[in-house]
Chains A and B, each alone.
Chain A
Amino acid sequence: MDTFEEFLKRVITIAFWLLLLGPVIVLPIILLVLPQFGVPVEVANRFLIALINPLGMLQFIDSLGLGPSSLFFKIAAFPGFTFAALFATLVILYERKLLAKMQNRVGPLYAGRFEGILQPIAELFKLIFKELLTPEKADKPFFWAVPFLAIAVGGAFLALIPLSPEIYIAKSEIGLVIIFAILSFTPLIVLTAGWASANKFSFIGGLRALHQLVSYEIPLILSTIGVVMLSGSLDLMKIVQAQASMWFILPQFIGAAVFFVTMLAELERIPFDLPEADSELVAGWYTEYSGMHFGALQLANYIKLYGFSVLFTLLFLGGWNGPAILPPLAWLFMKLFIVISFILVIRGTNTRIRIDQLIKLGWVYLIPLAFANIFIALAVASLGIV
Chain B
Amino acid sequence: MEVVDQEGRTLTFSIGPQHPGSGHFRLIVKVDGDFIVDVKPDPGYVHRGAEKMCEERTYIQNIPHLERPVIFDSSGILFPYVLAVEELLGVQAPPRAQYIRIIMAELNRIISHLYWLAIYGIFLGHSTMFMWPMGDRELFIDLAEAIGGTRVTFSYFVPGGVRNDLPPGFKERALKTFSYYEKRLEEYDKIFFSNPMFLKRTQGIGVLKREDAIRLGVTGPNLRASGISSDTRKDEPYSSYETIKWDIPVRKEGDCYARSMVRFQELFDSLNIMRQALDLIPEGSVKIPMRGQIKGKVGESFARTEAARGTMFYHIISDGATHPYRVKISVPSFRSLSAMPFLLKGNHLADMPAIYWGLDYWPVEADK
Contacts and interface: CB of A to CB of B under 8 A. Distances in A.
Given A99-B127, A103-B128, A347-B127, A354 B348 contact: yes
Interface string B101-128: 0000000000000000000011111111
Nearest to B202: A351
B132 interface: yes
Given A354-B351, A356-B348, A279 B123 contact: yes
Contacts of B201: 351-354
B348 A279 contact: no
A355 interface: yes
Interface in A336-374: 347-357
Contact of B124 (A103, A351, A356): A351
A266 interface: no
B28 to A, nearest CB: 12
Interface string A297-313: 00000000000000000
A274 B15 CA distance: 17
B309 to A, nearest CB: 20
A282 B128 contact: no
B131 A104 contact: yes
Contacts of A280: 15, 21, 349-350, 352-353
B200 A357 contact: yes
A355 B197 contact: no
B259 to A, nearest CB: 16
| Secondary structure call for the B interface | helix
B34 A356 contact: yes
Contacts of B198: 351
Contacts of B191: 349
Contact of B125 (A200, A273, A282): A273
Nearest to B15: A280
Contacts of A30: none
Interface in B106-158: 121-128, 130-132, 135
Contacts of B180: none
A282 B20 contact: yes
Contact of B131 (A103, A351, A354): A103
A377 B63 CA distance: 73
A351 B126 contact: yes
Contact of A351 (B21, B31, B125, B132): B125
Contacts of A354: 200-201, 348, 350-351
A356 B204 CA distance: 15
Interface in A242-299: 270-271, 273-274, 277-280, 282
Contacts, number: 84
A8 interface: no
Contact of A350 (B13, B126, B348): B126
Contact of B127 (A103, A201, A353): A103
B127 A348 contact: yes
Contacts of A274: 350
B13 A352 contact: no
B19 A349 contact: no
A200 B28 CA distance: 13
B177 interface: no
A271 B197 contact: yes
Contacts of A105: 131, 135
Contacts of A282: 19-20
A102 interface: yes
A92 interface: no
A205 B168 CA distance: 56
Nearest to A347: B127
Contact of B132 (A103, A279, A357): A103
A296 to B, nearest CB: 22
A200 B135 CA distance: 35
Contact of A279 (B13, B31, B122, B135): B122
B11 interface: yes
A271 B131 CA distance: 17
A201 B131 CA distance: 27
B21 A200 contact: no
B45 to A, nearest CB: 18
A282 B353 CA distance: 12
Nearest to A99: B127
B338 interface: no
Contacts of A111: none
B124 to A, nearest CB: 4
A280 B352 CA distance: 7
A350 B21 contact: no
B195 interface: yes
Interface in B1-31: 11, 13, 15, 19-21, 31
Given A351-B195, A351-B198, 9 more contacts: A103-B128, A103-B131, A105-B131, A271-B125, A280-B352, A349-B126, A351-B126, A352-B124, A355-B34
Interface of B: 11, 13, 15, 19-21, 31, 34, 121-128, 130-132, 135, 191-192, 195, 197-198, 200-201, 348-353
- What are the 5 A-B residue pairs with the smallest beta carbon separation, nearest first? A352-B125, A103-B131, A279-B353, A279-B21, A351-B124
24 contacts: A99-B127, A103-B127, A103-B135, A104-B132, A105-B131, A204-B11, A278-B21, A279-B20, A279-B353, A280-B15, A280-B350, A280-B352, A282-B19, A282-B20, A349-B126, A350-B197, A351-B124, A351-B126, A351-B192, A352-B125, A352-B126, A353-B200, A353-B201, A356-B34
